[in-house]
Amino acid sequence: MRDHTKLRAFQLADELAIHIYRISLNFPKEEMFGLTSQMRRCAVSVPSNIVEGSARESHAEYLRFLEIAFGSLRELHYQYGLAVRLGYISENKTDNLESKLTETEKVLGSLVRSLRKPQKPIL
């Protein structure tokens, strides 16, 4: 079993989930079951899948959960951009969160790519 807390990808995803919950508190009430809910589910899905994958024994399962986490992260990035364009997120908050999303994508994407490389057998 792997220790997910030592992964930079997990740490960033965890911070991102907290940011999304806080920023979505100010969304319009009519979005409670729409964009607010969707963004929060995606934000929680990213670190949750990293945690679940880390608990799996096989390399293939670990990689699969990280790929799911990456897909949720990309979905969240789109939803964040949509919320900005709809005016739900003020301009002064966009730069920091945008850079946090991009950094998390880079780190998690790099982890996934590194795990896709063929593993050398242990002799």
Domain that holds residue 53: 4-116
Is 123 within the bounds of a domain?
A: no
The DSSP-derived string for 58-88 is: SHHHHHHHHHHHHHHHHHHHHHHHHHHHTT-
Tens of pLDDT, residue by residue over 2-45, are: 899 999 999 999 999 999 999 999 999 999 999 999 999 999 99
Is 121 within the bounds of a domain?
A: no
Is 39 within the bounds of a domain?
A: yes
The answer to whether residues 77 and 105 touch, using CB atoms and an 8 Å cutoff, is yes
Nearest to 2 by CA among 52, 65, 44, 43: 52
Is 16 within the bounds of a domain?
A: yes
Is 110 within the bounds of a domain?
A: yes
Is 122 within the bounds of a domain?
A: no
Nearest to 26 by CA among 84, 109, 111, 103: 84
| Number of domains into which the chain is organized | 1
CATH code assigned at 43? 1.20.1440.60
pTM for this predicted structure = 0.90
In the predicted structure, residue 121 carries a pLDDT above the cut 80:
no
